[in-house]
C-alpha cells in the first residue's frame, strides 16, 4: 500500500472510530473497565453525614476542626489488544474481511482507552508472536498500532493462540485488560491459555466471523481453500447433504466454543463481518458495567 493511501485509510478510520468512541462508548467503557482501586486525592472540611472512618485525624488535630480524606478512583489501566493475524483472518465473503473487522474493533478499543488516559499496546499472533507493541498513552501511539495492523504481513498463516497468550503473561507483570480479537479457528487448546491468563488479568474475547463460514453458498462445484493449511477441497455446494453437513459442523463448533467461554467466566462478544459491530460491543460493555 502506498504511503498516501495508507495515511488516507488511517485518517478515515480515525474519524469514524473516534466519533463512535466519544458519542457511544466513552461512558460505557469507563464503567465497564474499572480502575485499580481508590487513591487519596485531598482533604476537605467534614460535612454532616460523612463516615467517621474517613476523618484525617492528623489534619483535624492541627487545625482543631474536623477534616475528611477524599478518595478518587485510580483510572489508569493498561489495555492490551491480542490480535489474530493468521491466514483465516483474510477471509471475507462480502466487502469486509475478518481482518478489516478486527481493525475497526481494535481502533474503537484503542481510542476508548486513550480517551480515558489508559495505556494501550498490541500483540499480533499467528502460531507465534509476530509483533509486540508495548503499551503507551496517547493518540500517536494508537495510530502507530493501527498503521502496523493495516500494513502487517505475518510470516506464518497458521494459528496457535497459546503462544501469544504465554508471551502476554510473560511481558505484562501488572494486571491489565486484554481483548483477544480472533475467529478462534485454532486446533490447539486455547481455552486453557485464556483461563491461565484470567487468573491475573481481565480477559475479554471478541470473536470475528463471516456468514459464509456458517452457510455454504449454492454455487455448484466449488473449491474450498484452507488459508492456514493450504489444503484445497472440491465440493458440490448445491448438494443438500453437503449444505446440511457444512452447517451442522459450524453449529456444533459454535455451540462448543460459546459454552466454553461461558463456563470459563470470560466475557465475550460474537461479531460478524455483516454486523453493525457497535451493538455487540455496547452490549458487552453494558453487561460488564452492571
- pTM for the model stands at 0.77
Q: Which domain holds residue 18?
A: 3-32+76-289
**Exposure pattern of 188-225 as b/e (b: 16+ CB <10 Å)?**
eebbebbbebeeebbbbbbbbbbeebeebeeeeeeeee
The answer to whether residue 132 scores a pLDDT higher than 60 is yes
Mark whether 65 and 19 lie in a shared domain.
no
Pairing of strands 232-236, 267-272: unpaired
In degrees and rounded to multiples of 5, residue 185 shows phi and psi of -85, 95
Q: 218, 220, 211, 210: which is closest to 183 by C-alpha?
A: 210
Mark whether 60 and 155 lie in a shared domain.
no
Lowest mean pLDDT, pick from 25-34, 94-103, 126-135, 253-262:
25-34
Half-sphere exposure of 175 (CA within 13 A, CB side): 11
Confidence of residue 23 (pLDDT cuts 50, 70, 90): low
Mark whether 93 and 148 lie in a shared domain.
yes
Mark whether 88 and 174 lie in a shared domain.
yes
How do residues 200-244 score in pLDDT, each as one tens digit? 999 999 999 888 887 777 777 776 766 666 777 787 777 788 778
Mark whether 56 and 87 lie in a shared domain.
no
Mark whether 117 and 175 lie in a shared domain.
yes
Mark whether 192 and 83 lie in a shared domain.
yes
Mean local confidence (pLDDT), 62-66:
87
Amino acid at each position: 500500500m502506498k504511503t498516501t493511501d495508507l495515511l488516507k485509510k488511517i485518517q478515515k478510520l480515525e474519524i469514524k472510530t473516534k466519533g463512535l468512541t466519544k458519542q457511544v462508548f466513552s461512558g460505557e467503557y469507563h464503567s465497564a473497565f474499572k480502575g485499580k482501586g481508590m487513591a487519596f486525592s485531598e482533604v476537605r472540611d467534614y460535612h454532616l453525614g460523612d463516615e467517621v472512618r474517613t476523618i484525617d485525624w492528623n489534619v483535624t488535630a492541627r487545625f482543631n476542626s474536623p477534616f475528611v480524606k477524599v478518595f478518587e478512583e485510580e483510572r489508569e489501566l493498561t489495555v492490551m489488544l491480542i490480535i489474530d493475524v493468521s491466514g483465516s483472518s483474510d477471509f471475507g465473503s462480502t466487502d469486509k474481511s475478518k481482518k478489516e473487522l478486527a481493525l475497526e474493533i481494535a481502533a474503537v478499543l484503542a481510542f476508548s482507552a486513550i480517551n480515558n488516559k489508559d495505556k494501550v499496546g498490541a500483540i499480533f499472533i499467528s502460531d507465534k508472536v509476530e509483533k509486540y507493541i508495548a503499551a503507551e498513552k496517547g493518540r500517536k501511539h494508537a495510530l502507530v498500532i493501527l498503521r502496523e495492523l493495516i500494513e502487517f504481513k505475518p510470516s506464518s498463516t497458521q494459528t496457535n493462540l497459546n503462544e501469544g497468550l504465554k508471551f502476554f503473561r510473560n511481558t505484562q507483570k501488572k494486571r491489565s485488560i486484554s481483548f483477544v480479537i480472533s475467529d478462534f479457528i485454532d486446533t490447539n487448546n486455547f481455552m486453557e491459555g485464556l483461563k491461565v491468563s484470567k487468573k491475573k488479568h481481565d480477559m475479554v474475547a471478541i470473536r470475528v466471523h463471516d456468514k459464509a463460514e456458517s452457510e455454504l453458498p449454492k454455487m455448484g462445484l466449488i473449491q474450498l481453500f484452507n488459508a492456514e493449511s493450504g489444503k484445497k477441497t472440491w465440493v458440490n455446494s448445491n448438494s443438500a447433504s453437503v449444505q446440511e453437513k457444512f452447517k451442522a459442523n459450524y453449529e456444533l463448533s459454535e455451540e462448543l466454543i460459546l459454552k466454553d467461554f461461558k463456563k470459563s467466566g470470560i466475557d465475550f462478544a460474537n461479531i460478524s463481518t455483516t454486523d453493525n459491530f457497535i451493538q455487540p460491543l455496547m452490549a458487552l460493555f453494558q453487561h460488564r458495567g452492571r
